[in-house]
Amino acid sequence: MLLIHCPYCDETLPELEFTYGGEAHIARPENPADKTDDEWRDFLFIRTNVKGPHFERWRHAHGCGRFFNAVRDTVSDRFLTTYKAGEPRPDLAVLLEDAAKKEPSK
């Protein structure tokens, strides 16, 4: 079972409390009327399929109801961090370095 930390409630709870909201940090076009159909298709449907750390949106559906961002490793399903919506994207290199320090040595 995945445990996810809600940065608003400051609690770590089972995945059942949350819903996945898609890829994080997708910027809406400034002038939507200027976009072609192909550009709109790409904006609406084309997402990265990362193997490794991925920036995602999650919603605490059975709690505060708020959306937040998370960095999750898609290989191990481990959450590296969660942070409030609107906060700057964390430095991935620093997160990976911190995660490596926390892993038990083999």
Q: Tens of pLDDT along 37-83?
A: 999 999 999 998 889 999 999 999 999 999 999 999 999 999 999 99
Going from the C-alpha of 84 to that of each of 8, 10, 36, 40, 52, the distances in angstroms are: 7, 11, 33, 27, 21
Domains and CATH numbers, the chain: 3-24+47-102 (3.30.2270.10)
pTM to 2 decimal places: 0.84
The two three-digit tokens of residue 48, written as one number: 């990265």
Contacts of 65 (CB under 8 A, 6+ apart): 59
Task: List, for residues 8-42, the tens digit of each pLDDT value.
Answer: 999 999 999 999 999 999 988 899 999 999 999 99
Give CA–CA dist 44/42, Å, rounded: 6
Contact 56, 70 (CB under 8 A): yes
